[in-house]
Amino acid sequence: MAGSGTVCVTGAGGYIASWLVKILLSKNYIVHGTVRDPGAAKYSHLTKLEKASENLKLCKADLLDYDSLLAAIKGCDGVFHVASPVPGAPVQNPEVELIEPAVKGTLNVLKACSEVKVKRVVLVSSAAALAMNPSWPKDKLMNESSWSDKEFCKKIKDFYSLSKTEAESEAWEIARKSGIDLVTICPSLAWGPLLQSTTNASSLSLVSILTEGVEEMANNMGWYVDVRDVANALLLAYEKREAEGRYLCSAHALHKQEIVETLRKLYPNYNYPKSFTAADGIDFKCSTEKLEKLGLSYRPLEETLVDSVESYKQSGTKLQTN
């Protein structure tokens, strides 16, 4: 499947999707990018990309509007389903705000893909769809065979993980029934430079470490990956014929204190947490073997952090120093 062709990217203006569109255009793909309003200024970063004027078509579509998705996907060889709600403010109604749009949106995309008979669908799931698994053996690297426990997610009110788990498991059910060639990528928390003008939810998690200056921070384990590596993983999953099943996309498993110590060496003057407390929660390392065998190599953490911070400065994000 390597080389040029026509593909659809849902939620094209988002953080990961924007990088994917950039890479696809550089590889001479024709891209149908779904957005809510093609004329909106917030998507100007897409129209300014190299080769966008001739090879990028922004299509007005909504995940809950099947006909709009079908119109965008018609004529495409493949589809990257990247769009999914990410919580910003506290979630008031998880079923309406997260779970229904994630699940129904995925169902609509796959139904349209089946009707158009696309060659392959690459779905962006999340490490959240496999990491919330309290029964996973503590001495074993977590891998793609793990699924988040839906009842556990409900119990701890982790509705984002629940929405991603529901959406991906439904996608696999539909793929089995319809014969769609589906591959899923499960990225961990993505950092790296911004293409869009606004700072997204995952980037704000890094901005908060730099600027909030809290007295104490829970020393949670986190999984991290560069947004550009996620975009490359999506392309590999589409182009490599041997790609199949799920792929966990995560470069680094680190505690918050390790992140802060690395940042402090690079940027000593930001308002970092003063101390760290022991954290509850799942504390697993994960295996990156399957995706690396497919051909992905990950950027070093320092490169991701520097490129992130410099990007925030350029975009006007407020980063107060001491």
Characterize 102-139 residue by residue with b for buried, 16 or more Cβ atoms within 10 angstroms of its Cβ, and e for exposed.
bbebbbbbbbbbbeeebebbbbbbbbbbbbbbeebeee
Characterize 268-293 residue by residue with b for buried, 16 or more Cβ atoms within 10 angstroms of its Cβ, and e for exposed.
eebebbeebeeeeebebebbbebbee
E-strand ranges in 139-266 read 182-187, 189-191, 216-218, 221-226, 245-249, 252-255
Residue in the block written with tokens 């590999």: 236
CA triplet 49, 55, 61: central angle to 5 degrees?
Answer: 90
Residue closest to 237 by CA, chosen among 124, 129, 128: 124
Residue closest to 182 by CA, chosen among 196, 172, 193, 169: 172
Q: Which residues are catalytic?
A: 164
CA atoms within 13 A on the CB side of 90: 2
Report residue 159 as tokens.
């509705």
CA-CA distance, 222 to 213, in Å (whole number)?
Answer: 19
